[in-house]
Amino acid sequence: MTRLFGTDGVRGQANGQLTAGLALDLSVAAARVLVSQGGYDGARPLAVVGRDTRISGQFLEHAVVAGLASAGMDVIRLRVVPTPGVAYLTDVLGADLGVVISASHNPMPDNGIKFLGRGGVKLDDALELAIEERIGQEWERPVGGDVGRVTPYATPVEEYVGHLRRTTGSLAGLTVVLDCAHGAASEAGPLALRAAGATVIAINASPDGLNINDGCGSTHLDPLRRAVLEHGADAGFALDGDADRCLAVVDGDQILAVLALALRDAGRLVDDTVVSTVMSNLGFTKAMRAAGITVRQTAVGDRYVLEEMHAGGYTLGGEQSGHVIMSEYATTGDGILTALQVLQRMASTGSRLADLAGVVTRLPQVLVNVPDVDRARTDDVELLAAVAEEEALLGDSGRVLLRPSGTEPLVRVMVEAPTLAGAQAAADRLATVVKARLALG
């Protein structure tokens, strides 16, 4: 059976793969799994539910709330709030379950459902599998006074913004452009930066349910670049639809480097170590090594970054895509928090963002997707020999990475080299070998 849960919850086209019926069934199953774990001393367990601005989030929210309450959970409706805001309030309100209805940076027709456990942390694979196994099973429904109560929450954005404000000092004197992607941070993002004293030019902050991520936000940086130049801003940041990631005119690796150096200088970078994924640019690794900072790499996906951070007690991790996790303040990636902390570094050093980010000299990186191949056979002897040959040619000046897709018959070939032409040539040569050796049929 194909698993419902991917690396970041259950996603699909709203009212296509992801129906109200599936949302209800998932929520019932999640509630039943949590209730079966016990520890409630006769009280009903509590869930909080938040969503981004997609119009489909309205009917999916009602389905999720109905499923949870019908299974005996009390539910607090947060309405529109960023994913890290849901995580924060799951923890602060002592909830047993947090639910985020969002498809992050995906286009508007998509949506998703993500569950968070106590403390606002992502569920592990075993719990997600247990939820899938409960779907469609017969169960004894609570009746009468045993069903859950549903309550709207009055101040989710204000409380989340208050938390963000407490993480930083004054940003007075800095002018910032913030691209809110017409998403969940359209209210919270500008409020948080203004509360810290920055002058904020908010763009793409007028959600209508249909325009989330539409030509804006972290996947479309041109509007941000234009606005920064137009207003002569000190910095610009682009969030995605649920605001758990942040990019600037500099990329996620450079943002991670800026924050790693800031935490190291403050004595708050545990073991002088930062966690990143295998997709981080070699230039980032070299810059960190030169600064005396160890880089621990994981598979792609913020859940794997989080697992490594928890295992080692590390305080900073992230992805090239802009997910940055600062465990002192958050249990998940938080784009607004990231922007605040980068601005704090600018304020404390008096440096421009471009100068701070200049510590990382990015190597040209080329990614080639090879479709219609057997992704389970990347250990093919001749393919491995071809990879070794390219690695020998690159030496310490570049690297090669083969990444089988987790869901499609596809292998990704990534090459970094001193020149773009060199990286492209090596990637194309390897892609040809992948196609020849792993072709289906």
Residue 277 host element (H or E) = strand 273-277
| Tokens at 244, concatenated | 């758990």
d(CA 330, CA 259): 15
Q: Which residues are catalytic?
A: 104
Beta bridge partners of 248: 237
Q: Which of 419, 263, 250, 278 is nearest to 341 (CA)?
A: 263
The torsion region of residue 182 among left (phi > 0), alpha (psi -120 to 50) and beta comes to: left
Residue 25 host element (H or E) = helix 20-37
78 Cβ contact partners less than 8 Å away, ≥ 6 residues apart: 48, 49, 50, 85, 86, 89, 153, 156
Query: What DSSP designation does 169 have?
Result: -
With contact defined as beta carbons under 8 Å apart, do 187 and 157 qualify? yes
With contact defined as beta carbons under 8 Å apart, do 71 and 143 qualify? no
Query: 3-state SS of 326-341?
Result: ECCCCCCCCHHHHHHH
Helix-strand-coil split of the chain, %, nearest 5: 40, 20, 35
